[in-house]
Amino acid sequence: MKKRTDKRLAEGEATGHAHVAQAEDAEVFGDGFERRLAAPTGTTISHEEHGKISLPVGNYRISRQREIDPDTEEIGSVAD
């Protein structure tokens, strides 16, 4: 997976807001809905509308919650 320079775990379509890893040494990899986060000293995750949460040291899998399309019944990641 390609390393991201913006440290974004995910971004919203309707607001432009993003979930971002704040620690200097945190690294985020990948595009789309599946990403990876390396936080060798832990990190805070920020977002314009959500409170910050702190993650302990570790490597993480990042994914999005799912929902079902009310018309087609297709299952997909939540678009926000």
Partner 1 sequence: MKTKIERLSSEQEAEVSVWRDRYWDIGTCTDPIDRAKAADAISRMYGFIGKEQPIFVWCESPFTSSLAVSVLRSSLSISLWDSLQDSLRDSLWDSLWDSLSISLQDSLSISLWDSLWDSLQDSLSISLRDSLWDSLRDSLRDSLPDLTVWGSAVWWLCFYRFCGYIGVRYSEEAALKLALYEQFACSAFWAWPYAEICIVSARPNCLRWTKKYGVLHCDGGPAVQFRDGWTLWYLNGVRVPQWLAETKDVDLAPARICQCKNAEVRREFVRKVGLDRIYHALGAMLIHEQTVTLATPYSEAWSCRYRLCEMRCGDNVRRRVLEMPNPSLPGVLHVEYVPVQCETVEQAMNFRLNRSEEDVDDDAGADWFLHGDVIIVPEQAGRLKRWPARIA
Helix (H) or strand (E) holding 44: strand 43-46
Minimal CA–CA distance to 21: which of 11, 9, 30, 33? 9
Out of 1, 3, 6, 15, point to the residue binding partner 1 (CB under 8 A). 15
Distance of CA 60 to the CA centre of its chain: 10
33-72 residues near partner 1, rule: CB under 8 A: 36-37, 45, 47-55, 58-71
Out of 10, 28, 30, 42, point to the residue binding partner 1 (CB under 8 A). 10
- The amino acid occupying position 24 is E
Q: Tell me how many residues contact partner 1 (CB under 8 A).
A: 40
Rounded distance, CA 17 to CA 50, Å? 10
CB of 2 or CB of 52, closer to partner 1:
52
Rounded distance, CA 63 to CA 67, Å? 13
Out of 12, 27, 29, 30, point to the residue binding partner 1 (CB under 8 A). 12
Residues within the interface to partner 1 (CB under 8 A): 9-10, 12-17, 19, 36-37, 45, 47-55, 58-71, 73, 77-80
